[in-house]
Amino acid sequence: MFKRIALGLQLLSLAVTSAFAQEAGQIVGSIRDQSGALIPQATVTVTEAGTSLSRSMTTGSSGEFVFPNLRPTTYTVSAEALSFRVFRQTGVTLLANQSLTINIGMEVGAVTETVNVGGQVVQVDTSTSTLAEVVDEARIVELPLNGRDAAKLSTLVAGTVMISTSTETGKGIPGNFYLSANGSGTGQVSYRLDGNTNTDFYFQLNQEFPFPDALQEFSIQTSNFSSQYGNNAGAVVNAVTKSGTNEVHGGAFEFVRNREFNARDFFAPKPDFLKRNQFGAYLGGPVYIPKLYNGKNRTFFFAGWQGTRLRNVNNAKNANGPTVDEKNGNFNTCGLPCTNRTIKDASNNNFPNNMVPTSLFDPVAVNFADRLLPVGLTGTVCSHIRRPFNRTWIRGWYGSTTSSARMTASPADTLSISSRTRQLTIRTIM
């Protein structure tokens, strides 16, 4: 039994690592002394600023180090070696899918002395040939965004253009779009969320992204990206959701669009009728259960919810509906459609005086007319129906938890497990 549990945990860790690796970045570099000579057997440590989770490794004879599969966030990088002062650099920001190079120069001195380096390193990818750009949290939250659809920000990257936007609810979520990168064809962009696929494989559209306050950043790789992504020749859009930290952070919001605030288009007789309310809240921090569990530096959560209410005037939809007489089977007053015509049954027999027994009506059609079509219509021709107004109610909630546990095999290694759940409900009232 124990062997089965151990095997299951190993398979789970492999699956999590595979998905996580596709949105993670890496920090690489080398360690040299003041003369430029490489320093072997130096201990390098990277520590997440928000969670205090750390990873360490020892450089080999080449004095180089590689930290793969790092979560995109802000780090502190430190290095220690015998007969050298401790090196510590803070504020190192690693972006999604980035390979960040940090070359460390150490000074001769006592190990009790520390050289602190502040400020952001120049983020130049010298270890891969991937052409990519990251849309960071500041642009996601602060740039004007119609409908708060963060996926539309993909067009900020050079060489990308939106081909078309889906408006058919039967095909997918309204607002999903086809993106072209560097002239690629329709459906040649791969969308990922936290390393997992976020693409509608049938129509090759993007699935819904979380709302902007739940997104940390996303990268768009447009050329020479790794073969691990495959399948798509255009680009890879990889979104990363937020995770909790040791500090509790949260907020609430509402974005309003109302015709009372809108200016009238020059060629329109009145302002547009669109009314949209988008509201919600989010919260993240360490998991804490009084007297039972304190997850600081170990277990974190982030959860958010957004609701959207949309009301608008649709394009006029015209149709012919049955009058009161017609619903009662009397087709003598239907006017032009029945003039000089005799209504016959399935056996080609005439209905006397164009009176059709209501018992012959299809019950489905009767229920449809009673429930969805206006009542009391009159006229000599099948009455005119105009239903121009529709309301849409969109609800969605998003949550994620991230935990880390020490592995007994090596106290310096940690296992990171992430779970994510989303739900989207769309209801349209005609």
The pLDDT of residue 399 is 40
Residue with tokens 């058919």: 168
The pLDDT of residue 15 is 41
Section 128-145 average pLDDT: 85
Give percent of the chain above pLDDT 70. Answer: 72
Give percent of the chain above pLDDT 90. Answer: 12
* Lowest mean pLDDT, pick from 114-123, 218-227, 315-324: 315-324
Q: Is 60 exceeded by the pLDDT of residue 169?
A: no
d(CA 221, CA 225): 6
Q: Is 80 exceeded by the pLDDT of residue 128?
A: no
Residue with tokens 């600023």: 49
The pLDDT of residue 9 is 40
Q: Is 90 exceeded by the pLDDT of residue 43?
A: yes
Section 404-416 average pLDDT: 38
d(CA 236, CA 425): 27
Section 410-430 average pLDDT: 54
Q: Give the distance, in angstroms, between the CA of residue 21 and the centroid of all CA atoms in the same chain.
A: 18
The pLDDT of residue 75 is 93
CATH 2.60.40.10 in the chain is located at 2-117
What Rg value do the Cα atoms of the chain yield, rounded?
A: 31
What is the DSSP annotation of 36-90?
A: S-B--S-EEEEEETTT--EEEEE--TT-EEEEEEE-SSEEEEEEE-TTBPEEEEE
Q: Is 80 exceeded by the pLDDT of residue 418?
A: no
Section 379-404 average pLDDT: 42
Kindly state the DSSP code that residue 206 receives in the 8-state scheme.
E
Q: Is 50 exceeded by the pLDDT of residue 318?
A: yes
Q: 129 vs 427, which has greater pLDDT? A: 129
Residue with tokens 């040939």: 129
Q: 344 vs 67, which has greater pLDDT? A: 67
Q: What is the pLDDT of residues 170-208, one digit of tens each?
A: 455 556 778 888 888 777 888 888 878 888 877 778 887
The pLDDT of residue 38 is 92
The pLDDT of residue 349 is 84
Just give the CATH number of 2-117.
2.60.40.10
Least Cα distance to 340 among 329, 331, 349, 328 occurs for 331
The residues that bridge with 46 in the sheet, in sequence order, are 55, 77
Q: Is 60 exceeded by the pLDDT of residue 214?
A: yes
The pLDDT of residue 1 is 47
Cα separation values, 336 from 121, 328, 380, 383, 418, Å? 80, 19, 8, 12, 67
The pLDDT of residue 275 is 82
The pLDDT of residue 67 is 94
Q: Is 70 exceeded by the pLDDT of residue 376?
A: no
Average pLDDT, the chain: 76
Neighbouring CB atoms inside 10 A of 227's CB total 5
Q: Is 50 exceeded by the pLDDT of residue 411?
A: no
pLDDT confidence band for 386 (50 / 70 / 90) = very low
Section 222-236 average pLDDT: 80
Q: What is the pLDDT of residues 79-120, one digit of tens each?
A: 999 889 999 999 898 988 888 889 999 988 876 777 777 766
Q: 31 vs 372, which has greater pLDDT? A: 31
The pLDDT of residue 56 is 92
Q: Are 260 and 277 in contact (CB under 8 A)?
A: no
The pLDDT of residue 32 is 92
Q: Is 50 exceeded by the pLDDT of residue 334?
A: yes
CATH 2.170.130.10 in the chain is located at 129-241
Section 370-386 average pLDDT: 57
Pairing mode, strands 215-223 and 74-80: unpaired
Please tell me which of 36-50, 235-249, 344-358, 386-400 the model is most confident about, judged by mean pLDDT. Answer: 36-50
Section 354-361 average pLDDT: 86
Q: For residue 321, what are its two tokens?
A: 């509906």
First-to-last C-alpha distance (Å) of the chain? 57
Kindly state the DSSP code that residue 156 receives in the 8-state scheme.
G
Fold for domain 129-241? Answer: Ferric Hydroxamate Uptake Protein; Chain A, domain 1 (2.170.130)
Q: 390 vs 359, which has greater pLDDT? A: 359
The residues that bridge with 134 in the sheet, in sequence order, are 219
Q: Which helix (H) or strand (E) holds 17?
A: helix 2-21
* Lowest mean pLDDT, pick from 144-148, 240-244, 285-289, 400-404: 400-404
The pLDDT of residue 150 is 85
